[in-house]
Amino acid sequence: DADVTQTPRNRITKTGKRIMLECSQTKGHDRMYWYRQDPGLGLRLIYYSFDVKDINKGEISDGYSVSRQAQAKFSLSLESAIPNQTALYFCATSDLWDTQYFGPGTRLTVL
């Protein structure tokens, strides 16, 4: 089984809808991250969490919110989706030696 899983893997939704992307990990890491990837722009950090009670904004947090339900679970929500949030979203965890482990990604399309 994969160490970092993301659900759903693909999602098509409409403008204005609320969307939740979920991430689970079995690596036992405290640090978790959400990124979005757009063509030609690399990955941009949305939110990160160093433990259940520590959540921080990244470069592009506007329009997004997160919830760290447990050490193993970190969810990303789009409260009211808009077309320019169409992107590939990745969850990642990080160990004490700073290596990041990525999930397979969620391809989100907002119409």
Q: Give CA angle at 71 (61, 30), nearest 5°.
A: 75
The 28-67 site mask, x for binding another protein (CB under 8 A), equals ---x-x-x----xxxxxx--x-x-----x-xx--------
**83 backbone dihedrals φ, ψ, rounded to 5°:** -55, -35
Q: Is 98 one of the binding residues for another protein (CB under 8 A)? A: yes
Whether the Cβ atoms of residue 105 and residue 22 lie closer than 8 Å to each other: no
By CB under 8 A, name the binding residues for another protein.
4, 31, 33, 35, 40-45, 48, 50, 56, 58-59, 88, 90, 92, 94, 97-105, 107
